Amino acid sequence: MAILQALLALLTKSAGKIINALFGWAVHALFGQTSSKQQTLLSGLVAAAVAWPLLVVGIVAPKMAALVLTFVPIPNWVPSWIVRLVWLALALIVPLALGLAITAKAPAESTPEPTIKRLLRGFPITIGLAAAFLIMFVSVPIMRVVTMVRGWTSADVPLVTDAEAYHRTATQTVDVLNKHGFRLRAASPGWWVTAPTRLLGWFGGDAFRRYVPARLEYFESSDLTVSFYTSGALLQGLRQKVTWGHGLIAETLARGSGFLTIDPAAQKLESQIRRVWKVYEEEPVAHQNAPRLIERVGDIAKELTELDVPYDEWSVIYRQVLQLDRAVRGQRQMLDSLNPQEEVAVTSETGGRQREDIRERAREKISGPGPSVGKSAADLSTGELIGEITGQVGLLARMQIDLAKTELQADLRAEVAMASRLGIAALSGFVTVNLLLVTAVLALAQRMPAWSAGLAVSSTTLTIAAVAGLMGWSKRVRTPLERTRRTLKEDAQWTKERLA
């Protein structure tokens, strides 16, 4: 019980942060700049719009929907039409509330509209949000599983942009990655990537067209793919490629036009950082070590100490301030200052690279300077020849040991990855069995009282567990080491007979 209470407390404490992370970009597109408190409330409203299809299902199957959403069965004495009215009211209130909220947050200079049009505006936006989220709810887990099966990993880079800056930001990012040897090329994303965006643009109208581009940017190479969404970039590929690319993107986007944070207070400080970047990049040479820019960076750093946002958001701003300070003091960014031509190619095939390095070191040691430098085999004495052969054999032996260690580490990593994926499969199977049992209970509840259906299914599973337990218990070892004991007893008897 204590563990359950702790988990519930953690979920309750983090609810606002989770909602903002999932729907913050949609709030920004629909309602523009808001305060932190307003964004949490508006994010909850957007989340309710996403769950709108479940409210509609509740109108058709009221008690079943209540059980699925709340896990609380509605008693039989409660009429279904009362529950159906509740679902109907909620299904109407959510789109109407969304339409009113959009109208209330509309700019003062916007064209006045009839009240009925303001109310009805929320319905198509609600349908677009719900349809887009449904596709992502199904496609994203599948994409994650495919990524794991391929032995890849993934990383999300938050990036909130409008449609105008979207393509410019994507081009800038890919240029930096290709500069460091990623060899990305433009490609067509799958329908599961483009469908949510098209639905938002279609149903959302002008509210989303400013933030949803007509064409999504998607780039791929043999070991990395980069998808640019309206709220961020998704990297999928080999682990070291993803990590290296994530770092380069984070460094590059610090001076871009998009927001790397969700919280309105953090975005406000990001806007100040962007303005300083814009001034600096007008005349980079002239503005190096400019006292006014250095002083302005100090002012931003002071505001950062007073910024009341979650640490994840705060750390993003902190990194951006450091990068800005480095630039105005005439220093190149740390990752950008690396010469791609002199870097070792980043690849997740660490074992292969290490083995090649080991071979190269062995070759250098074998062919390197020694007592027999400049002498051919015919000029060597027997002692020198034996010593040379012994040294090379020792080097080769050490090389093989190093290779074996490297391969063993790679095999262990592969086994750990296999075990983790089998664990996920086992957990998924366990959840599936539970869902099937719940489905069986719901099906039987149509023919008998719900408690009788639950008792019947529970009795069946208990019987299976008891039979399996008894069968397993019957296979227990009643006499441990029975054969060994008998053999030892016979050997002792034989020894006694021989000594008699």
- The per-residue pLDDT for 368 is 46
> Which DSSP category does 377 fall into?
G
- The per-residue pLDDT for 1 is 40
How far, rounded to the nearest angstrom, does the alpha carbon of residue 499 sit from its chain's CA centroid? 75
pLDDT averaged per 10 residues in sequence order, the chain, 500 residues: 42 44 60 67 80 84 72 74 85 86 68 71 84 78 78 84 83 90 89 76 70 82 87 87 90 82 86 90 86 91 90 90 90 69 41 49 45 50 66 67 70 70 72 76 76 77 78 70 70 62
Q: Which of 215, 241, 240 is nearest to 228 (CA)?
A: 215
Classify 156 as helix, strand or coil: strand
Which regions of 349-446 does DSSP assign to beta strands (E)? none
* Spatial CB neighbours of 25, under 8 Å, sequence gap ≥ 6: 160, 211, 230, 231, 262
Residue 50 backbone zone (phi > 0: left; psi -120 to 50: alpha; other: beta):
alpha
Q: What share of the chain is helix, strand, coil (3-state, %, to 5)?
A: 70, 5, 25
Cα separation, 75 vs 63, whole angstroms: 9
Tokens for 235, please give them: 């990297």
Instruction: Provide the residue type at 186 as one letter.
Output: A
* Spatial CB neighbours of 232, under 8 Å, sequence gap ≥ 6: 156, 157, 158, 159, 160
Cα separation, 230 vs 128, whole angstroms: 15
Classify 228 as helix, strand or coil: strand
Tokens for 420, please give them: 């983790």
Cα separation, 191 vs 200, whole angstroms: 14
Q: Which of 427, 407, 411, 413 is nearest to 239 (CA)?
A: 413
Tokens for 199, please give them: 């639905």
Predicted TM-score of the model (pTM): 0.55
* Spatial CB neighbours of 377, under 8 Å, sequence gap ≥ 6: 385
Residue 481 backbone zone (phi > 0: left; psi -120 to 50: alpha; other: beta):
left
- The per-residue pLDDT for 59 is 83
Give the strands of the sheet with 218-220, arranged side by side. Answer: 153-158, 232-237, 224-228, 218-220, 185-186
- The per-residue pLDDT for 8 is 42
